[in-house]
Structure 1
């Protein structure tokens, strides 16, 4: 086997540039969580605008709508995140043009995992330092949360996390998550999870929260007033 192969791969199957990409996500210092309740799905993340001096907060966000029914939170290197979001939107738009209905969340996440895998198979390309967690509510799957990352693995979750404090956040969710939570309980748990792992009381301007519900299936981002109404700790 060539030396070029060993430059990127280990005999046990590990891939160097995928491991580097996963570490790069954590080095950005941002943590995000996603979870689903009985009638809703929620994503929450630190506001990246608070970590960058003199930036206009209206131009920097980790929350994006990908089509009419699917939204996401991206964590990692911001340039890679924006690229992956544009690819997801292009895939969703092309699917809608051909099939005349919206691309389901599991199909879209599967396609994003395929795109990420192309970066791991090409030795000359750099794996994207970006993790994407998608949420949606539809007739077939109900409230749904899916996640994919540079390893190109994708799965559906009840609750998951990504970023610098991923392990701590997942441990908190494992202990506190309950099935069939209400909309308000779901938002509270997502915010409380971030507060717990970051070790400070988050203010509405410090976080971003996105939600889809059975009554309003279009992904939307909560404003500061709505976040206060959902969470009595503010």
Structure 2
């Protein structure tokens, strides 16, 4: 008895491909929508940090992380983040193309890698993606950046950013950082403290809040100047109205 033949044509392959794309698209939109109202319990970056030893103690430490609402933070914290990381955060649509172009040009002629990522891009990377450098990961990062800008809005993006940013070795977010470094809560942080936390954001393992280097202190002074130039707390109040 002859066995039935199974035919699989290019038309079938195309239909399967587009069905897979649709499933991935709907899944990603649902994932982003869920985090619009539900706080991320953990991020991929936290999980990767949990699985590796701390470079300072040579043993795995407990991840310190607790989500707090933006309204329960000192307004100095979002102000310091904007002043340090992304001064066009309120007005751009998720991308600072001028900064991206400048970083690309500097990387062509330098062994050191420069980034041009906005706060929105950093949130997309840290919440939804793995860390690494590849064109594929960057493309997916841009896709998720577009989604969170569209579905979350600026206040939610800033809220998530301040909660999931690594501010010390195994210390994530302003609640854990406030308690660990200053023995207080995020709503009680002053301008200098907020600026110091923002000063270590580029590399919280290399730069220390507890024992700030001369470079970190100079960076804090520059951030404080930028905070004043932006308009101080009034800048945040007007944005959040």
Query: TM-score category by the smaller chain?
Result: 0.3 to 0.5
Structure with the larger helix share: 2
TM superposition score normalised by structure 1? 0.34
TM superposition score normalised by structure 2: 0.33
Structure number with the bigger relative contact order (C-alpha 8 A, sep ≥ 6) is 1
Greater share of strand: 1
